[in-house]
Structure formats: C-alpha cells, structure tokens
C-alpha cells in the first residue's frame, strides 16, 4: 500500500513539475513576444520621427522645391521654390532696387507698401515694384503678370484678384518678360511658383498656404515673411493711376496703420 502511495505521489509531483514547466514556457512566449513587439514598435516610431524631422528640415531649406498640386499642374505651374532672402531694408520713394530675381520674392523695398484696398493693378497705374515687395514682407501674396500674358488671362486674373481675399494683390511686372513661357508668377516672401496660366484654384491654394505665415518661419534657412500679418500702406493709387494732389494739397488717403498681428488702428 505504501509503495502504491509513493508511486502515486511521484507521478503527481512529475505532473506538477511538467505543468510548471509549461506555464513558464507559455509566460516566456507571451512576455518575450510582447517585448519583441514593443522593441519593433519603438523602432518604427523612432524611424518615422527621424524621417519626419528630416523631411521637415529639408522643406525649410533654400532651394527646396515643393511638388505642384493637381490644380497647379493643370495651369502648367512649376513647383514652389524656397528662395534665398536677398534683403529687407527700406529704401526711399526715389530709389530703384535691381532685384536679382524676376520677379522678386524678397529684397530691399519702399518704406510704404501698397494699400489693402486695391487688389489688381494695370501697367498704367505706375506703381513701384518696391512697394509690392514690402507687401510680401507683411505676409501678402503677389501675383505678377508680364506683358506677354494674354488679354483673356489678364481679365481672368482681375476676376480672381477680387475673390482671392485681402492678402492677395495682382501686380504688373514691367521690367522684363518671364522665362519658359510662364507669364504669371505667384510669390510670397521667399516662395516662388511660376505658372503658364492664371488658375483660380492654384491662386487660392497658394494664398491659403503662404499668406500670413507663422512668424516661426523667420528662423528657417528660407525665412517666411518676417512682418507677417502687418497691413498695407497709403491709399494713393487706383487700379489705373496715381491719385493726384489738388492745388498742391495732398489728397492721398492713408489706410489704417500697420500692425504686426494684422489688426489695424485708425490713422
């Protein structure tokens, strides 16, 4: 009897040991697999984070070209280029700045930007290019058109300018003809996109992306609008001509005073 009891106890102990071994193996598989998965997930997160950081850094560099959207491609627009800032000093109203790029996306400029109230100018307006460049510094988008842009496209641009919002101004470029048969060019501060045709969708997209950029952009290799959000300047020109003085008395009507956050104050 004692012998049978001893054998039974031995079998039970062997079963307990086997069960314990299986439990340890199962726990190892569960926690080991979870650990491996955790390491894999962490590696993926780190890889994606590093890749995203590198991609973001690249998009802030001078010379980076953002691929054109579908709307931009339909208008034969090239990608948007990050340009190098070439100056931001004020010049007097009788000084002409020879910009290294046609049209400019930054540079020294007239101390008085174009007014907020006019969004399309004809060549007869006689406005100074230097004033428009100051608008770029304030976070405006300028749509430049040269003498080769067809009349029907100019008419379309005038319509688009009236609908593109307060931060868009269409300006004639009278100093040269743009290359590559792209006679309409969108610029923001240090951003340029050259187009073969005027497209409402392409203009709206560019304005939405580049008008009034975050001031954080001023720290990038390719800075964006160091005075973003500031308003326009003196209302002393119409779409077609300067506003003349009467009897020598200044009749120029100033807009609200510029501020850094886009708000306005009475003149």
Cβ neighbors of 71 (< 8 A, separation 6 or more) are 199, 201, 202, 205
Give the model's pLDDT for residue 245. 62
The pLDDT value recorded for residue 122 is 98
Confidence of residue 26 (pLDDT cuts 50, 70, 90): confident
Asked if 80 and 66 count as a contact pair (C-beta separation under 8 A), the reply is: yes
- pTM exceeds cut of 0.85: no
Predicted confidence at residue 261, as pLDDT, reads 36
pLDDT for 48: 41
Count Cβ atoms within 10 A of the Cβ of residue 114 and give its class: 0-12 exposed, 13-18 middle, 19 or more buried.
buried
251 has a pLDDT exceeding 70:
no
Question: What b/e string do you get for 30-63 counting C-beta neighbours within 10 Å, with b at 16 or more?
Answer: eeeeeeeeeeeeeeeeeeeeeeeeeeeeeeeeee
Please tell me which residue, 185 or 27, carries the higher pLDDT value. Answer: 185
Tell me what the mean pLDDT of segment 198-203 comes to.
Answer: 98
Mention every residue, 6+ apart, whose C-beta is less than 8 A from residue 124: 240, 241
Assess contact for 104 and 187: CB atoms under 8 A: yes
pLDDT-derived band at 78 (thresholds 50, 70, 90) equals very high
């Amino acid at each position: 009897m004692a012998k049978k009891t001893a054998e039974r106890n031995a079998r039970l102990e062997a079963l307990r040991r086997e069960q314990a071994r299986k439990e340890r193996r199962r726990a190892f598989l569960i926690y080991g697999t979870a650990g491996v998965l955790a390491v894999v997930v962490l590696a993926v997160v780190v890889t994606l984070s590093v890749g995203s950081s590198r991609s973001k850094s690249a998009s802030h560099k001078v010379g980076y070209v953002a691929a054109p959207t579908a709307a931009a491609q339909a208008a034969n627009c090239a990608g948007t280029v990050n340009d190098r800032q070439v100056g931001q000093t004020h010049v007097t109203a009788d000084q002409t700045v020879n910009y290294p790029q046609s049209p400019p996306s930054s540079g020294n400029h007239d101390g008085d930007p174009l007014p907020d109230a006019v969004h399309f100018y004809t060549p007869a307006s006689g406005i100074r290019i230097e004033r428009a460049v100051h608008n770029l510094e304030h976070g405006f988008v300028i749509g430049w058109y040269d003498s080769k842009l067809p009349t029907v496209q100019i008419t379309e641009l005038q319509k688009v300018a009236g609908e593109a919002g307060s931060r868009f101004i269409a300006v004639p470029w009278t100093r040269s003809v743009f290359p590559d048969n792209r006679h309409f060019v969108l610029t923001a501060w240090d951003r340029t996109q050259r187009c073969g045709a005027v497209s409402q969708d392409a203009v709206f997209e560019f304005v939405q992306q580049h008008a009034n950029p975050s001031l954080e952009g001023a720290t990038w290799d390719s800075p964006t609008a160091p005075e973003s959000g500031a308003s326009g300047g003196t209302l002393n020109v119409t779409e077609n001509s300067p506003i003349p003085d009467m009897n020598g008395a200044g009749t120029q009507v100033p807009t609200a005073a510029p501020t850094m956050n886009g708000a306005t104050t009475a003149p």
